[in-house]
Chain A
Amino acid sequence: MKVLVPVKEVATVEDEFEIDGTTIDERYLGADLNEWDDYAIEEAVQLEEDGVVDEVVTVTIGDEETEQTIRQALAKGADRAIRVWDDALEDVDLLDVGAKVAILEAVVEAEDPDLVLTGVQSGDDSFGATGVALAEAVGYQWGAVVNQLDLEAGDETASVHRELEGGIEELTDIDLPAVFTIQTGINEPRYASLRGIRMAQRKDLDHQTLADLGVEADAVAGDLRLTAMNEPESESDTTVFEGGADETATQLADLLREKGVAQ
């Protein structure tokens, strides 16, 4: 059984930042492996360790700089990686769900995995839709917000728990091939070991262009346009306690006594 794990490098933002048009000024941005994808990788690698899966392949849409993040996934145990990048993607402001699916669909068709594990959402644009949209596009079954996956070698159906609101889980049987969007807490993602990091350097990282995948450049232009970005206006009148820690703690202590919740 082969598992494909779409892995995204997400932008992280410093506490203080400035907005420049429809982006955050680059000086305030960092990059990290998407939190939810980390759990998806771990789930795939555990399935391989349990002998259910033979190969774990990752796919990332991103420029050369994302290779750092891809190596992280390889160091955690993925077998090989595909990176899709193209000049046509350079100018896209917002890669929307349709655009991501156009690319990932071509990769699924080329790789023909039995299982695709994505994160529930990405920490930066948080569409939360790519996995399910991809499943529909490639004609796979799917399950969103999966926090338990039970699958044995040779199974044609996976049993999953989907985490609903309010502490309720739904138990569902889902036919393979399928796409599952993985929720945090499903497992405990490992840190990459030094040995893993060394081995990752030798693993295959295959760069593909849109042409390689047979995807038309205009398919990734997307329908959504980001036209403005601003800092949200605060809805409440927050009283900010000023001063050093001793002063702010005193003010908070007074408040708690005043509210009658502490002595």
Chain B
Amino acid sequence: MSADVLAVAEHRQGDLRDVSREVVTAGAELAGETGGDLHVAVVGGDVETFADALNLEGVDTVHTVAYGEEFNHDVYTQAITQLADALEPAYLVMPNSVNGLDYAPAVATRLDIPLVTDAVGLATEGDTLVGTREMYGGKVETTTEVDADKVAVTIRGAEWEPTEAAGEAVVEAFEADIDEDAIGSSVTGFEEVAGGDVDISEADLLVSIGRGIEEEENLDLIRELVEALDATLSSSRPIVDAGWLPANRQVGQSGKVVTPDVYIAIGISGAVQHVAGMKGSDTIVAINTDPNAPIMDIADYAIHDDLFDVVPALIEQFS
């Protein structure tokens, strides 16, 4: 039985994304357990340069598919399915990125194999794949087992260390037979959002507010705190979605990455997409009524209390 692993790299606007080195690590771990080979695929863009960068420790072969410049899910789905048909890997490892979400489920469906998404841990027990996932917004961690010859998984970003060490991989060009009639989508451009007057990524002290604030009027209380502390105001996504703050204040995966000296998360649960933007903060303080909120896993200091009691008391301390 072949127990090879195929990992799929990701790039955007000419740059290999960090998660590419992370899928290599996750793939190498699986291949280490099964004793199979690790194949890495890169589709589109400057595949030669990407292949050089993907020649990393643990990689046996880098397969380049020279077709198109940027990500197109129809091309990816066709190319990866064809490569998987040719290589017959037991495990297909893809990133749980926005683009991963746009092709991995289609690939799994086309190959008719089970899909485990957003894994934070992967292991094998004999022929069984054991994935660790989270449910209920990170409140619980689950073990999911899949008994199948072939399984597709997507891995959460920043959970595996990116492989940095160079390897001795063979680079092979894969001639994918892309059916152009089956391409029903075309990327016409990119747009940057979240510009504006304030750059929260420059701030030393961020007071960040989440859905715990409940009503727009209650933001006044937070603004008072921000003023008293001479801090900068940021937020989780729901506050921006509701139109209470502009997009340039959003911290997270689809917002800004921030690295202040102190990040005070008030009424923020700590969903993975939020944490992606603020985990690099020097000191993290969480004010939350829920002692089990996922933000507590990364907080250095915590107050398990109602923000409507704590924030006024804190303002008092500075006035």
Contacts and interface: CB of A to CB of B under 8 A. Distances in A.
Best-buried of A97, A123, A174 by chain B (most CB within 10 Å): A97
B123 to A, nearest CB: 12
A193 interface: no
Given A232-B141, A232-B294, A256 B205 contact: yes
A171 B301 CA distance: 41
Determine the interface band of chain B, counting residues with CB < 8 A from chain A: 35 or more
B243 A167 contact: no
Interface of B: 12, 71, 73, 77, 96-99, 101-106, 108-110, 114-118, 134-148, 154, 184-194, 204-205, 229-231, 237-238, 240-243, 247, 253-257, 260-262, 282-283, 285-286, 289-294, 296-306, 309-310, 312-314, 316-318
B101 A132 contact: yes
Contacts of B147: 223, 225
Contacts of B77: 136
Given A184-B237, A236-B297, 16 more contacts: A126-B117, A127-B117, A132-B103, A137-B109, A144-B98, A162-B98, A170-B187, A171-B190, A174-B185, A184-B238, A188-B242, A229-B142, A238-B300, A259-B261, A261-B262, A262-B229
A15 to B, nearest CB: 4
B316 to A, nearest CB: 7
A68 interface: no
B105 A229 contact: no
Determine the interface band of chain A, counting residues with CB < 8 A from chain B: 35 or more
A50 interface: no
B135 A126 contact: yes
A79 interface: no
Interface of A: 11-13, 15-17, 19, 22, 24, 94, 96-98, 101, 120, 123-133, 135-137, 141-145, 159, 161-175, 178, 181, 184-185, 188, 222-232, 234-236, 238-241, 244-246, 248-250, 252-253, 255-256, 259-263
Interface of chain B, helix or strand or loop or mixed?
Answer: mixed
Best-buried of A120, A123, A165 by chain B (most CB within 10 Å): A165
A221 to B, nearest CB: 11
Given A128-B117, A174-B185, A161 B191 contact: yes
Contacts of B314: 249, 252-253
Contacts of A241: 301-303
A22 B142 CA distance: 8
A163 B98 contact: yes
6 contacts: A13-B136, A124-B135, A165-B97, A223-B147, A252-B303, A262-B230
